[in-house]
Amino acid sequence: MHWSQYFLPTLREDPKDAEAISHKLMVRAGLIRRLGSGAYSYLPLGLRALHKAAAIVREELALAGAQELLMPALQPLELWKATGRDKVLGEVLLRVKDRTGKEHVLGPTHEEVITDLVKEIQSHKQLPLTVFQIQTKFRDEPRPRFGVIRSKEFLMQDAYSFDVDAEGLARSYQAMYDAYQRIFRRCGVQVLACEADTGAMGGDVSHEFMAPAPSGEDRVVRCQACGYAANLEAAKCLPSPSAAGEPAKPLETVQTPGQHTVEQVSRFLKVPPATLVKTLLYEVEGGDPVAVLVRGDHEVNETKLARVLGTPRFRLAQPATIERLSGAPVGFTGPVGLKGARLLADHAAVQIANAVTGANRAEAHHVNVNPGRDFQANQTADLRLITPDDPCPGCRRGQLELVTAIEVGHVFKLGTKYSQALGAAVQLPSGRSQPMVMGCYGIGINRILAAAIEQRHDAAGIIWPPALAPFQVVVTVLEPDHPEAVRAGEEALAVLSAAGVEALLDDRDQSPGSKLKDADLVGIPVQVVIGKVWKSDRQLELVLRATKEKTRAGPDTLVEHVHKLLDRTALPQ
């Protein structure tokens, strides 16, 4: 392939709308171009890398026993209504009507469609079954950002397993989990397999594959001792030590004029934030308000709160609601004497002796508040986000750290949520009919590229792992007006191509500096430079993009040297 004939426009400056380094480099290196909010065109170089990622996914899923199929992106809305997910996903669903007025959605995922499809399976003898597709998905993201990391249209591998029972699901789940580990290893993307919340997908067990990256939208907690890892939303908080040894003091009310926040009250009363109890009022759709109590130095985990409430449809109460329920403006709500709201307390909040809380009146707080004596929670649960100061939920001794990451894969044990709703059942040996037990497994193909670039780049550009690199070698002719140099470039391209090495010949009529900068920017693993060294002793200069290590080779040993450099390209640590 000749660069002069290849549609590969590069840019010197970062696009103004780009925040993430992967977004900047994918645009500058000519991989993608923005069409509209959350929609990107893949140029030839980017599409080659995308196809490489998809091929690895296909190969590993085939080894795991999964069969490929293809389902429509256009789905009848009635399927989503049957499972209730039309309401759960709400405005994220892109809805369309055909000319007859029938409603459809552009699928963000395919659980309903595949479950409807496998209803043709009638007997337990036809199970287990795992199928997958690589299909374009659509989500009406309220705020697309970070380029292809969060977009409205994206390429996704989604797989679905069907088993007779939970034991069969466990085997299918493990097979896909292991396949995913192999996929990311081959792609050269470092991932953490993390415990995760099942969210709108349903089920009771899930794991996310998270690629640590500064531009990630998710936060992961990781133990440095035992390797425990979980999405911040799913990480379990162990109960705090009880303060039972501290004697309860008499309840008092103190004036706190203008002190609304934890930091302000803590400083004003000269007490640590951990002695405060925050009371956050939530309005629940179709239900009574709830007051959530957490320690002053903790934050409410709304994912855990949704599980306790049994619904994700709630929001922080508006100021008018807060004043109606507590009798006080925002910043002075507390549990003592609070009426009209159910009290949900985090475990740590009810372990504090002589706590500080809002007094449910303006400019005042209670001190020496003690649970049980001064208020009674309706329910106590794990309702907060874990912190680096918490003990590890896995080993209870290791130091926790928070890591920013990109979600590149997710696996779920769905159980019978979809098969029961849509009537996908098999007949057992006893003659009894039973819903199939399902799992689902997804990888964002676009995100594999973004994560690889986030983890493997430098100031000059991308550093592709060999498995994803759109080309393995770029041959750069520094003097395209020099006939012998051009001929040497053409011969190098021919030799490499004949040996099965994917090579791009930069034969453009541009300055040497510009061509070398472009070679670094696009990040092809091995650079073969035909310049001064060729002119002086007819040697080709080979540069390993990852380390800038240089070596020389003659035309007859070029392929051998290229393969050695590709084999030595380091994976991310």
Asked if pLDDT for residue 1 goes beyond 60, the answer is yes
Q: What is the pLDDT of residues 146-156, one digit of tens each?
A: 999 999 999 99
Mean pLDDT across the chain: 93
Contact 436, 451 (CB under 8 A): no
Give the tokens for residue 242. 């009880």
Strands of 233-359 (E only): list them.
252-255, 277-284, 290-295, 314-316, 342-346, 355-358
Residue 571 has pLDDT above 60, yes or no: no
Residue 198 is predicted with a pLDDT of 67
pLDDT number for residue 544: 96
485-498 burial, b if ≥16 CB within 10 A, otherwise e?
A: bbebbeebbebbee
Predicted confidence (pLDDT) per residue in 401-416, tens digit: 999 999 999 999 999 9
CA-wise closest residue to 290 among 354, 381, 367: 381
Contact between 370 and 113 under an 8 Å Cβ cutoff? The reply is: no
What whole-number percentage of the chain has pLDDT above 90? Answer: 86
Q: Are 241 and 351 in contact (CB under 8 A)?
A: yes
pLDDT average, residue stretch 359-374: 95
List, for residues 450-479, the tens digit of each pLDDT value. 999 999 999 999 999 999 999 999 999 999
Task: Give mean pLDDT, residues 203-226.
Answer: 89
> Does residue 143 surpass a pLDDT of 90?
no
Output the pLDDT for position 534: 82
Residue 378 has pLDDT above 90, yes or no: yes
Confidence of residue 244 (pLDDT cuts 50, 70, 90): low
227: amino acid identity, one letter: G
Residue 113 CA to residue 303 CA, distance in Å, equals 27
Q: How sure is the predictor about 572, in pLDDT bands with cuts at 50, 70 and 90?
A: very low
Cβ partners under 8 Å of residue 37, min gap 6: 144, 152
Confidence bin at 199 (pLDDT 50/70/90): low
Question: How far apart (Å, rounded) are the C-alpha atoms in residues 291 and 316?
Answer: 10
Q: Residue 200 pLDDT > 70, yes or no? A: no
Neighbouring residues of 296: CB distance < 8 A, sequence distance ≥ 6: 262, 265, 266, 273, 274, 275, 276, 277, 278, 356
Q: Is the pLDDT of residue 201 over 80?
A: no
Q: Across residues 206-210, what is the average pLDDT? A: 93
Q: What is the pLDDT of residues 527-546, one digit of tens each?
A: 999 998 888 888 999 999 99
Q: Which helix (H) or strand (E) holds 83?
A: helix 77-83
- In terms of Cβ atoms closer than 10 Å to its own Cβ (0-12, 13-18, 19+), residue 155 is buried
Other CB atoms closer than 10 Å to residue 258's CB: what's the count? 8
387-440 pLDDT, tens per residue? Answer: 999 999 999 988 999 999 999 999 999 999 999 999 999 999 999 999 999 999
pTM score, two decimals? 0.89
Could you report the per-residue pLDDT of 502-528, keeping only the tens digit for each? 999 999 999 999 999 999 999 999 999
Q: What is the pLDDT of residues 9-45, one digit of tens each?
A: 999 999 998 999 999 999 999 999 999 999 999 999 9
